[in-house]
Amino acid sequence: MKAILQTILLVVGTLVPRFSTMAESSLPSLPTDHPASIQFSAWLAAFNTEDQDVLAAYHSDSIFPYSAATRDIKDLQREFGLAQASGGFEVVDIESVSSPSSVVIVMKEKKRPIYARVSILIDDSNADYPVTEFQINAINTPLKFIPEDDPRRPGFEKALKSLDSSLRRKLVDAINKALLEQYVEPELGEKMANALNIHFESGDYDRFEDSEKFAQRLTEDLREAGHDGHMGIHFREPHGPSAQSDKPDEKPRPRGRVEDFERMDYSFGPIIFDTGSAPGKKIASLTINGFVPSTEEYLDIWKEVRAAIGKKLSSVADADALIVDLRQNHGGAPDTVAFMMSYLMDGGPHHLLDFVDRAGTVDRSFSTLPVNELPGGTKAFGGAKPLYVLTTKNTVSGGEDMTYGLQAFKRALAVIGEGNEATAGAANPITKPHFLCEEEFGEGWWMAGIPIVKPKHPVTGTNWEGIGVKSDIVAGRGEWEGVDDAKEVATRLLVKFLGQQKDEL
């Protein structure tokens, strides 16, 4: 079994952590003859190098396809960003090795006091033990790792106590109060509140004594009843004073470090230039995986961030055509969506979107910037050249915002879905946290993410909530049967479009 691990890590040129060393340390040792533990150790060794090339090589042989992973490491950029931000992980607890094909492990970041739980499933019928599912999620600091004399200990004991029927009832009541009073769609808020009450009265919640698991179940039930992808209940330890930012006398503290944004490449993916498909023409592909904060309200270095984003967008300005790849876009700041749209449209400002509350009152508006207000030295692609947008069912929130706008304003020639008829359908944003039952659990532990506003587009008068942004073309279907890659579809269409332009000249 050790030989298999050696073979896996020789691929990435990394020395394998010796099991004897692990056993001799104060950290728990993973079993040496357990397939899932062996593969986990291979991944951890590659991850802890904080080397992008090593990670890429590890994933290259289908030992661990990114399609098997949760969002935090869904692609190389995100995984590398997490590796650098965390400084790697150390194993602090082994929760389960119940079968040869699975293991559940608790880890701690080396740079930050943050814990995470990893659950890995592998195919133990294959000699390489390929990963079939990999979940990694941040968790609260386990009580066992907080010393008795730590001043935080009493607060953690209060928050992490076992739930009984009375506490579960108080939590459900607090959530329902917020839903009935503030959810942006009153009828839907009432429907979700009724659903929680039915689950409670039916005894569906009786077995939940752990707050994290109960929060997950409440989120599932709310999304099942309301189909709101942003709606969520969270149980997380507070980190600093900003955790209480909904208090009237407190505001979010704008802060940031350029190197942190550089490490995640400002949530851009690869920017690729294709000069071979259409002779004499350049087709640019711009991958945007998210929208980082870029306004003074949320960030002290917003000007630097906008300048860097502008530089990225300027790199495609002289291309003859553009493919905007939002297939793995997980959303982000709507102000940044509007800022980026400024580079894809002519003139401006163009009114893009309003956030309206349940009474129909406009809470915030978003518009593009005129060219003279863009960061100095940057250049726009503009609104005249051909542009396609790529999506999947994983395109969510801010990614849908950009897609919806480009489609509604007829800026994009088409939205091309990669096997999906529509995007995720998560429109209603979370703009304010609602803290719950602080007397019972302490400040900032229980939080409800409840949308109190919804987007309203000036062209359509509505948004994409619950239905997603519809694909104009679906890769792999109809005339595109056999062409499953949305980017390939877009490239072929642009080659044809650019060829027609040339013939017309």
Structure confidence by residue, pLDDT tens digits, 161-186: 999 999 999 999 999 999 999 999 99
Query: What tokens does 447 get?
Result: 């939080």
Mean pLDDT in residue range 187-215: 98
Query: Per-residue pLDDT tens for 11-38?
Result: 444 433 333 333 344 668 888 899 999 9
Residue-level pLDDT at 4: 42
Query: What tokens does 202 get?
Result: 């039916």
Q: Alpha-carbon distance 58 to 450, whole Å?
A: 40
Burial-class residue 52 by CB neighbours within 10 Å (0-12, 13-18, 19+).
middle
Query: Per-residue pLDDT tens for 338-392?
Result: 999 999 999 889 999 999 999 999 999 999 999 999 999 999 999 999 999 999 9
pLDDT at 241 over 80: no
Give the HSE-up count for residue 253: Cα atoms under 13 Å, Cβ half-sphere.
Answer: 8
Burial-class residue 347 by CB neighbours within 10 Å (0-12, 13-18, 19+).
exposed
Q: Alpha-carbon distance 107 to 91, whole Å?
A: 4
Residue-level pLDDT at 74: 83
**DSSP 8-state class, residue 236:** -
Mean pLDDT in residue range 326-332: 95
Binned at pLDDT 50, 70 and 90, residue 6 comes out as very low
Going along the chain from its start, the domains and CATH numbers come out as 2-139 (3.10.450), 149-237+429-454 (3.30.750.44), 258-427+463-504 (3.90.226.10)
Look at phi and psi of residue 203 and say left if phi exceeds 0, alpha if psi is from -120 to 50, else beta. Answer: left
Binned at pLDDT 50, 70 and 90, residue 247 comes out as very low
Task: Pick the more confident residue, 118 or 2.
Answer: 118
Contact 415, 407 (CB under 8 A): yes
Mean pLDDT in residue range 301-312: 97
Residue-level pLDDT at 503: 61
Query: Per-residue pLDDT tens for 129-152?
Result: 999 999 999 999 999 999 999 999
Mean of all residue pLDDT scores within the chain: 91
Pairing of strands 362-367, 446-449: unpaired
pLDDT at 417 over 50: yes
Residue 365 CB neighbour total at 10 angstroms: 14
Q: Alpha-carbon distance 116 to 109, whole Å?
A: 8
Look at phi and psi of residue 364 and say left if phi exceeds 0, alpha if psi is from -120 to 50, else beta. Answer: beta
Query: What tokens does 36 get?
Result: 């899932």
